[in-house]
Amino acid sequence: MVKLSVVVPFYNVQTYAPETLESLRANAREDFEFLLVDDCSTDGTREILQRAAREVPGAVLLRHERNGGLATARNTGIDAASGEYLAFLDGDDWLAPGHFAQLLRAIEELGCDFVRTDHVQCTARARTVHRVPVGRRGEVLSPRDAILPAGRSTSVDYPYAWAGMYHRRLLDRGLLRFTDGLRTAEDRPWIWRLHREAESFAAVTTLSLFYRRGVATSLTQIGDIRQLDFLRAFDQVLDETAKDPEADRLLPKAVRTYCAIIAHHLGSIERFEAPVARALRTRSAAALRRMPQDVLRDALDTMDTERATLLRRLRRRPARVLAGAAG
């Protein structure tokens, strides 16, 4: 019986895939399976994965005939998973030996729906520790309670699917699949749904997961139209949260986070291609006007002056001016 299924999407990461795969080999167990999803790579990634499927214990190679993006690739792996527990890794990141065994031991001992863990962010030669924003460690907690408070970094602001392990009952309840086609921010609706609807979770302290930032092929480094999928992702967060029985309590956090992400992208707008920058302004203004206006006003009142002024100015711009700017 498979105890753990690990879903690992790859797309054009031939430089980094060997280190990722070697770390999987160092984490292999006879009851683990590694679902390697090639999202129609066009470099040498496919050949690397074909070799890994023969050499890495528990490796299974799955391949898309056309590129679908990270969310769709993860869903392909999820659909093939047979384990009692699921975990994720991206094709350019890596793990220390024993990472999965440690998380598995923690989630089994705690008996909760999912666990979240810290990670080390790697940018060139720099290493930075990023902690799950949960103060109580190794203790079973309510996922819903961990969404708030609105004005502070909480668990939904740490959305990384690969920073944790998840019981299969969450998949059976429809909580682990991602929104097909989302090219960026795919973790955001996912983590909000998980925290609204799962029953229990815990944060555990490990520093055995290494996230590679600054990869040239990563969408976080590319200023094309796919980056604007964050708007679709957060629209989904707002729509689903608005239907929650505790919408009045949770929406302020969702709206404030959405505003912060819009301001972040506007603050680095020079990295976008010119037509994308115009579309960013237009679509962000429309998103601000779609939000519940009373909740939005309260959110802007709690933000720093620079970001609040930027967002208020954008919201007030006439739609025809924004549409002209986008043309």
Task: List the CATH number of the domain containing 215.
Answer: 3.90.550.10
Which of these, 174, 209, 172, lies nearest to 194 by C-alpha position?
A: 174
Indicate if 322 and 274 belong to the same structural domain: yes
Indicate if 213 and 231 belong to the same structural domain: no
Final residue of a domain: which of 166, 185, 220? Answer: 220
Looking at residue 217, what DSSP letter applies? T
User: Which residues of the chain, if any, have pLDDT below 50?
Assistant: 218-221, 321-327
Indicate if 8 and 125 belong to the same structural domain: yes
Partners of 212 in the β-ladder: 122
**Helices 247-267, 305-316: inter-axial angle, 10-degree rounding:** 90
Partners of 192 in the β-ladder: none
| Tally of CB atoms within 10 A around 59 | 22
How many structural domains is the chain composed of? 2
Domain hosting 280: range is 223-326
pLDDT value at position 327? 43
φ, ψ of residue 129 in degrees (nearest 5):
-85, 130
Helix (H, G, I), strand (E, B) or coil at 96: coil
pLDDT value at position 219? 47
- Rounded to an integer, what distance in angstroms lies between the CA atom of residue 106 and that of residue 245? 31
- Rounded to an integer, what distance in angstroms lies between the CA atom of residue 249 and that of residue 39? 39
pLDDT value at position 291? 97
pLDDT value at position 221? 47
Indicate if 204 and 303 belong to the same structural domain: no
Residue 264's Cβ-side half-sphere holds a number of Cα atoms within 13 Å equal to: 11
pLDDT value at position 223? 61
Beta-strand ranges (E) seen in 59-169 are 59-63, 85-88, 94-95, 114-117, 119-123, 126-130, 164-167
pLDDT value at position 319? 58
pLDDT value at position 67? 95
Helix (H, G, I), strand (E, B) or coil at 166: strand
- Rounded to an integer, what distance in angstroms lies between the CA atom of residue 153 and that of residue 133? 7
Final residue of a domain: which of 220, 248, 279? Answer: 220
pLDDT value at position 294? 97
pLDDT value at position 326? 46
Whole-prediction pTM: 0.93
Partners of 130 in the β-ladder: 119
Indicate if 110 and 137 belong to the same structural domain: yes
Indicate if 208 and 279 belong to the same structural domain: no
pLDDT in tens, 32-77: 999 999 999 999 999 999 999 999 999 999 999 999 999 999 999 9
Instruction: Work out the burial of residue 115: count CB atoms within 10 Å of its CB; fewer than 13 is exposed, 13-18 middle, 19 or more buried.
Output: buried
Alpha carbon distances (Å) from 99 to 35, 102, 103, 110, 208: 17, 5, 6, 17, 6
Q: In what order do the strands lie in the sheet with 32-38?
A: 59-63, 32-38, 4-10, 85-88, 164-167, 114-117, 201-204
Final residue of a domain: which of 220, 247, 271? Answer: 220
Indicate if 213 and 252 belong to the same structural domain: no
